[in-house]
Amino acid sequence: MGIYDKLRSIIPNLSDDGSKEMAAQWLDIMGDAAEMDVLLQNPAFVRLLASMRADFTERVLQLVAKDPELSAMRRMFVRTLGLKDAEEQIAKSVASLVEE
């Protein structure tokens, strides 16, 4: 018996202290994760995500370039990281925002 089935089978036995709702939410999350796993195996969807990430990164960098306060923050970030690979580090940070 998998974790999904086990969790589904114990829901009726859980207390009404929020445990049932939390278990139901976990079941929803597990279902969504399974659907996302299928999507991530689709090359067209993976390309679409990569395109969206690149577009988002480019737009954020354009906004940063236009805003004096954000530009100052970017310069401080570059100084903190050093000049080597600063753009790559910024792109990774933006990508981590997208993934969260």
Are residues 64 and 90 both part of a single domain? yes
Are residues 29 and 75 both part of a single domain? no
Residue 75 has which token pair? Answer: 């310069």
Stretch 49-65: mean pLDDT, rounded?
Answer: 89
Dist. CA 67–CA 72, nearest whole Å = 9
Predicted TM-score (pTM) of the model is: 0.49
Quote the domain boundaries for residue 61: 43-99
Stretch 71-95: mean pLDDT, rounded?
Answer: 74
Are residues 32 and 64 both part of a single domain? no
pLDDT tier at 14 (50, 70, 90 boundaries)? confident
pLDDT score of 95 more than 80: no
Strand boundaries in the chain, DSSP class E:
none
pLDDT score of 89 more than 80: no
Give the count of domains, the chain: 2
